[in-house]
Amino acid sequence: MRIGLASDHRGFNLKHSLINYLEEKNHKVIDFGTFSKDPCDYPDYTYLAASAVRNKECDRAVIICYTGIGSCIAANKVRGVRAALVYSLKSAVFTRRHNNSNVLVLPSHLFKADYAKRIVSRWLKEEFEGGRHLRRIKKIRDIEDKESI
């Protein structure tokens, strides 16, 4: 699987832990930045990773910032992206099963690397259930269509 990763300066260390972990699991990882701990603005890197999912350059993306809130908002502005801010293993499962999320957003201040790896691994393994959830995903797409007019 091709997985994009992006972070701001406060997610930099966690991002690098996840890059190493995902590469060990034989995923192709594309790092969209930031590339240092220097203060930066999360929307710049969030947009690059989310756009790569939209353009099918990546199958999915993981984005990390301090709270995850701003990055989730920014990622969801990109057409076709269903970004989910995840705070637990259970929420990682359900955002894939029910929402078919293609971008995972993690708050760097809540997780140690080991727990974040468990969340990412579980999120990558889960499948979309379809059924009644597909109807809801189509309604989200309809909203995007209305907003693009």
- Which residues form the catalytic set? 65, 98
Q: Which residues contact 36 (CB under 8 A, 6 or more apart)?
A: 9, 12
The CB-side HSE value for 5 (13 A sphere, CA atoms) comes to 24
Can you read off the two tokens belonging to residue 3?
């997985």
Local structure of 29: helix, strand or coil: strand
Residue 3 CA to residue 124 CA, distance in Å, equals 10
Residue 102 CA to residue 82 CA, distance in Å, equals 6
Residue 68 CA to residue 126 CA, distance in Å, equals 21
Tally of residues, the chain: 149
Local structure of 148: helix, strand or coil: coil
